[in-house]
Amino acid sequence: MQTDETRYSLALKSIHGVGIVGANKLLAHFKSARAIFEASPDALAHAKLKPEVIRQITQFDPASLDSIIAWGQADNRHIIPLHSPYYPPLLAQIHHPPLLLFAIGNPELLLSPQIAVVGSRSPTPQGLANTQMLCQALAHEGITVTSGLALGIDGEAHRAALASQGFTIAVTGTGLNRVYPAIHRELAHQIAQSGVLVSESFPDEGHQQGSFPQRNRIIAGLSLGTLVIEAAQKSGTLITARHSLDEGREVYAVPGSIHSPLSKGCHQLIKQGAKLVESIEDIMEDLPHLDRALVNRAHSDNKQPLDSETAEFLKHIDYEVTSVDTIVMRSQLTVEAVTNKLLSLELEGWVINSVGGYIRQ
C-alpha cells in the first residue's frame, strides 16, 4: 500500500517544468510533497513558481497516477520515495537526490555497501578480463556491484557478480518497463531475480536527452566509490567518476597500456588523484570497516523492516565509525533517546557497536 506522501511525491514528479532541482527546493520550502499540493496559489506564487506550474499543481488529477500506483503494487515491484526505509542513505546525501526510485527485485540491496563499476561500451579483451576478476572478488567480499546495464564493462560487471553468487544493482536510464539496450533483456531478467533493477524514470519512459548522465549520478550516489575499468579520455564513463568526486566518494581506476586509447581516461583520473587499482586489496584497504563478516550480515535476511521514523534516524549513521556525539548532533535528539535507538538497531542487526561509535550495516 502506497502512503499519501508517496502519491504526492509521484504527483510532484509528474509536474512539467519543475525538474529534480526545483522539486527538491519545493520540498525544502514546504516540508512535504503533500503540503505543496495543499498550498494556495498565492503560497505557490510566493515560492516563485511560474503560472503554468501553479496551474498544474492546483488542477492535478490524482487518477492520472493510477497506472503507476498499480505498477508498484505488482509482485516484486517497488516505488521507493525519499521517506521510505528502503531509500538508500548514501543516495539521499547527494546534491539532488531522486524524489523516488522505481525498483524490480530485492529493495534491501539498496541499503547494502556498494562499489560502482563502470567503463567502456567497447572494451578490450583485457578490460573484460579485469572486470571479471575484480567484480568476482568484490562479490566474494560481500560487496554489491552497482552499474548501469550498458554494453561492455557495465554488462560484464553485472554478469561477473551474478556468476559468483554475489549481488548486483543495475541503474537504468529508462523506465523499468523498457530494457536498454534490448540485447540485455535476459541479463535484466536475471538481475531482477537475484539483484535489483532501479530507475528514477516512470516505468514506461524511454531514454531522453540527459537521462544517462542523470542515471550516472545515481550510480555514483549509491556507492561508496566508483571503479573505472577502461575509458577513453572523452568518455561518458568519466561523468560517473566526476559525480563520485563531487559527492566526496572514492574513485578507483585500472591502469593500462600507454598506447591504448581506452586507458587514457583511467590514466587521467589517476593523475587527478584517483587510486590506482591492481587488485581487490587496493579497494578493500580503503574500507577497513567493511570486513567480510560485517558485509555478509548487511545482506542478511534476518533484519526486520523499519518504520519511517527509525529509517530516518538510521540515515544519521555512516558505513564507517560514527560517534554518538555526531549522531546526536545530526538527529537533534537527546543522548538518552539516541542511545535507546542505537541499542534497538544493534539488536535488530542494523548497526554494530565499534570502538569510537557505531557502524551502519
pLDDT at position 115: 96
Distances (CA, A) of 79 to 84, 174, 315: 9, 15, 19
Q: What residue type is 162 in one-letter code?
A: L
| CA 282/CA 278 separation, integer angstroms | 7
| CA 157/CA 281 separation, integer angstroms | 18
How are beta strands 77-81 and 100-105 bridged, if at all? Answer: antiparallel
Q: Which of 66-71's residues contact partners 24+ apart within 8 Å by CB, and which partners?
A: 68/10, 68/202, 68/203, 69/2, 69/7, 69/10, 71/102, 71/177, 71/203
CB 60 within 8 A of CB 11: yes
Average pLDDT over residues 201-215: 85
Helix segments in the chain, DSSP class H = 4-14, 19-30, 33-38, 41-46, 51-58, 66-72, 89-92, 125-140, 153-163, 185-194, 211-222, 237-246, 261-271, 280-284, 292-298, 308-314, 324-331, 335-347
- Judge residue 302's burial from the number of C-beta atoms within 10 Å of its C-beta, 0-12 exposed, 13-18 middle, 19 or more buried: exposed
pLDDT at residue 342 tops 80 = yes
pLDDT at residue 292 tops 50 = no
Would you say the pTM of this structure is higher than 0.75? yes
- Judge residue 317's burial from the number of C-beta atoms within 10 Å of its C-beta, 0-12 exposed, 13-18 middle, 19 or more buried: buried
Distance of CA 66 to the CA centre of its chain: 26
DSSP 112: S
Beta-carbon contacts of residue 114 (< 8 Å; ≥ 6 apart): 143, 144, 145, 146, 169, 222, 223, 224
The ranges assigned to domains in the chain are: 1-71, 107-284, 302-360
Summarize pLDDT for 17-31 with one digit per residue, the tens: 898 899 999 999 998
| CA 361/CA 294 separation, integer angstroms | 7
Summarize pLDDT for 40-93 with one digit per residue, the tens: 999 999 998 999 999 999 999 989 999 999 999 999 999 999 888 889 989 999
Average pLDDT over residues 207-219: 85
CB 162 within 8 A of CB 133: no
| CA 112/CA 211 separation, integer angstroms | 25
Fold: same for 107-284 and 302-360: no
Neighbours of 232 (CB within 10 A): 19
Q: What residue type is 136 in one-letter code?
A: Q
| CA 319/CA 274 separation, integer angstroms | 21
CATH node for 302-360: 1.10.10.10
pLDDT at position 297: 44
Per the structure block, which three cell numbers stand in for 46?
A: 510566493
pLDDT at residue 247 tops 50 = yes
Average pLDDT over residues 210-235: 91
Neighbours of 290 (CB within 10 A): 22
* Count, residues in the chain: 361
289 pLDDT band, cuts 50/70/90, is low
Average pLDDT over residues 103-117: 94
CATH node for 107-284: 3.40.50.450
| CA 324/CA 258 separation, integer angstroms | 48
pLDDT at residue 274 tops 60 = yes
pLDDT at residue 196 tops 90 = yes
CB 193 within 8 A of CB 105: yes
* Interhelix angle 237-246/211-222, nearest 10 degrees: 50
Most confident of 5-14, 163-172, 310-319: 163-172
Beta-carbon contacts of residue 306 (< 8 Å; ≥ 6 apart): 85, 314, 350
